[in-house]
């Protein structure tokens, strides 16, 4: 065929090929729109008509060529091409089969967001019975949820997943007691024995938190001191940048009970207090309150103290009796301060301790004091976080806060500077600890000991900084260790740093239609026209 007939034949072949490809893709697609069906049938009809218009004027020529030796040669080479194509298809199929039978996943994202975190792997490895997971998610929204759940199922055979469209399985919706508002974006129902949790935010963090709530046995209570200018836990102040609402939520996600503690109204720390947190006080405790807090520690309690520099708190003096030294300074680091802010240093040196055993990335602090162990307490207290080698503890606070200027002097503490300590101290009134139940993986304090963790800053666990770098892990791991939950100490799920574009269903389908079919077919048509134009050029 020559001339216009060749062009029509090429265009017709392209239309039919895209009609077939569209059909194959739509068979595997969860949603097919009317526009896409019209596209398939339109391409098929147009392709047949174009081929007919190309073949009809040249029918006698084609029939004559079919009887010639040229037709036999074409048949021979055509058969060879078909067999080669079939062999290539078979090889691709075999590779796909091997890949499906022996899957291997790679995560090349910067933050490792497609790899399960250490915390998730620990939780899955500790499953002692099957977890039944039912994903009631509309078909269009199912692929990312399926990808997430498949990672869990790949990690543990006890994580058993079933997918169902809530529109076609009203019986499951009724069985799980799900209201229509919960089904807007879908729900993942996680059940372990008789207990269950519904997850509507599809992220590793939320799903792992659900598993933690189902698998962690026993009730542990964390009390947070208030009444001395500490960080607000709830209300408007709790949700502000300097508030502590997100830190409290992080503890509740670990299945801990969190309560506020006003010591002046109770006179003593409640008997069910497993940990007491003091977060950034700026006023002294009353003598009775201080006495009650000391009595709690001496009975074998666990205390997390976060003391900001340049405040009027009397906690540094109280902690000194256990060998904790909080410096009257602010640690600065001109080289490793965020965005050049020397008083907001990164810390990435973690001496050996269970709290920081898995930390490999930096933590961020804002106006932090040095915290060290006294010589007589160095066998009991361990420095757990240090700033960089070029940092120092600036003791000239008047110049720092008054003029915003720092200069290393002879009286400043040289770097690296310890800004947190942890350890066990003497508790003469402590009862003998009960041995942990089999499988709990707990390490309670030694007999006659209490646990302390002290930071020279409370900003790092505030709403503003909690999710920065590894601050969240450092804070929660500290509470885990104080409670004896060493199995819970882990690096938690990473969060993607990439931006996302939110599309409606219609916009997504339209974008898919344009990118998979319209644009590629237009390119194929253009290529066919270019081939035909070159074929008709003089000298060819």
Indicate whether 197 and 247 sit together in one domain.
no
Residue with tokens 């194959």: 24
Question: Are 329 and 370 in contact, with CB atoms under 8 Å apart?
Answer: yes
140, 174, 207 - which closes a domain: 207
| Separation of alpha carbons 163 and 181, rounded Å | 19
Distance from chain centroid for Cα 366: 24
Give me 319's structure tokens. 């902690």
- pLDDT number for residue 382: 94
pLDDT digits 0-9 by tens, 268-280: 999 999 999 999 9
Strand partners for 326 = 371
Domain annotation covers residue 214: no
Give me 335's structure tokens. 């080289």
Indicate whether 327 and 374 sit together in one domain.
yes
| Separation of alpha carbons 323 and 423, rounded Å | 10
Indicate whether 225 and 203 sit together in one domain.
no
- pLDDT number for residue 401: 86
The dihedral formed by the CA atoms of 4, 8, 11 and 13, expressed in degrees to the nearest 10? -130
Domain annotation covers residue 313: yes
The DSSP annotation for 165-231 comes to -TTT-HHHHHHTT--GGGGSS-EEEEEETTEEEEE-S-SHHHHHHHHHHHH--S--EEEEE-SSSPP
pLDDT digits 0-9 by tens, 217-233: 678 999 999 999 999 99
Give me 198's structure tokens. 């519904």
> Domain holding 144: CATH number?
3.40.30.10
pLDDT digits 0-9 by tens, 342-384: 899 999 899 999 999 888 889 999 999 999 999 998 889 999 9
The dihedral formed by the CA atoms of 369, 338, 206 and 160, expressed in degrees to the nearest 10? -110
Indicate whether 131 and 97 sit together in one domain.
no
- pLDDT number for residue 497: 44
Neighbouring C-beta atoms of residue 180, cutoff 10 Å: 8
Number of domains in the chain: 3
Indicate whether 402 and 471 sit together in one domain.
yes
Domain annotation covers residue 507: no
- Smallest Cα–Cα separation from 486: which of 477, 494, 495? 477
Question: Are 228 and 277 in contact, with CB atoms under 8 Å apart?
Answer: no
- pLDDT number for residue 297: 94
Domain annotation covers residue 166: yes
Indicate whether 452 and 335 sit together in one domain.
yes
Helix axes 34-55, 4-28, angle to 10 degrees: 150
- pLDDT number for residue 259: 95
| Separation of alpha carbons 479 and 290, rounded Å | 21
| pTM given for the model | 0.64
- pLDDT number for residue 439: 47
Indicate whether 15 and 141 sit together in one domain.
no
Residue ranges in the chain whose pLDDT is less than 70: 1-3, 25-34, 57-78, 81-82, 100-114, 181, 217, 432-444, 446, 487-488, 490-508, 537-540
186, 207, 228 - which closes a domain: 207
- Specify the 3-state DSSP secondary structure of 419: strand
Domain that holds residue 122: 118-207
- pLDDT number for residue 498: 43
């Amino acid at each position: 065929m020559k001339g216009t007939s060749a062009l029509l034949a090429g265009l017709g072949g392209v239309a039919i090929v895209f009609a077939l490809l569209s059909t194959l893709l739509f068979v595997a697609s969860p949603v097919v729109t009317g526009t896409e069906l019209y596209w398939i049938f339109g391409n098929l009809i147009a392709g047949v008509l174009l081929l007919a218009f190309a073949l009809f004027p040249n029918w006698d020529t084609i029939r004559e060529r079919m009887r010639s030796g040229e037709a036999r040669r074409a048949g021979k080479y055509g058969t060879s091409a078909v067999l080669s194509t079939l062999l290539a298809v078979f090889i691709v199929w075999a590779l796909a089969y091997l890949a499906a039978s022996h899957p291997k996943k790679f995560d090349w994202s910067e933050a490792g967001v497609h790899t399960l975190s250490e915390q998730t792997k620990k939780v899955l490895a500790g499953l002692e019975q099957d977890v039944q997971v039912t994903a009631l998610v509309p078909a269009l929204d199912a692929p990312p949820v399926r990808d997430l759940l498949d990672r869990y199922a790949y990690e543990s055979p006890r994580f058993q997943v079933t997918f169902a469209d809530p529109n076609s399985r009203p019986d499951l919706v009724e069985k799980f007691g799900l209201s229509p508002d919960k089904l807007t974006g879908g729900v993942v129902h996680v059940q372990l024995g008789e207990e269950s949790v519904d997850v509507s935010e599809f992220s590793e963090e939320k799903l792992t938190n659900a598993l933690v709530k189902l698998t962690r046995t026993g009730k542990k209570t964390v009390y947070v001191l208030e009444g001395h200018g500490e960080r607000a836990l709830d209300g408007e102040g709790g949700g502000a940048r300097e508030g502590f609402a997100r830190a409290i939520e992080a503890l509740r996600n670990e299945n801990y009970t969190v309560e506020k503690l006003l010591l002046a109204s109770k006179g003593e720390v409640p008997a069910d207090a497993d940990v007491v947190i003091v977060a950034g006080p700026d006023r002294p405790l009353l003598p009775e309150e201080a006495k009650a807090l000391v009595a709690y520690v001496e009975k074998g309690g666990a205390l997390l103290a976060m003391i900001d520099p340049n405040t009027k708190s009397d906690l540094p003096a109280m902690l000194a009796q256990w060998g904790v030294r909080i410096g009257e300074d602010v640690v600065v680091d001109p080289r490793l301060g965020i965005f050049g802010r020397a008083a907001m240093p990164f810390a990435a040196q973690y001496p050996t301790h269970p709290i920081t055993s898995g930390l490999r990335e930096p933590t961020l602090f804002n106006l932090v004091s040095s915290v060290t162990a006294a010589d007589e307490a160095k066998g009991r207290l361990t420095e757990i976080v240090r700033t960089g080698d070029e940092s120092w503890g600036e003791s000239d606070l008047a110049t720092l806060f008054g003029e915003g200027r720092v200069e290393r002097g002879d009286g400043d503490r040289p770097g690296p500077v310890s800004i947190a300590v942890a350890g066990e101290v003497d508790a003469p009134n402590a009862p003998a600890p009960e041995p942990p139940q089999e499988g709990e993986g707990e390490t309670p304090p030694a007999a006659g000991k209490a646990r302390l963790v002290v930071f020279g800053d409370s900003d790092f666990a505030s709403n503003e900084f909690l999710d920065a770098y590894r601050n969240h892990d450092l804070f929660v791991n500290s509470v885990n260790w104080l409670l004896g939950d060493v199995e819970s100490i882990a690096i938690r799920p990473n969060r993607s740093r990439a931006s996302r574009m939110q599309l409606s269903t219609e916009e997504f389908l339209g974008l898919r239609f344009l990118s998979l079919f319209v644009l590629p077919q237009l390119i194929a048509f253009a290529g066919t026209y270019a081939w035909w134009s070159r074929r008709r050029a003089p000298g060819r």
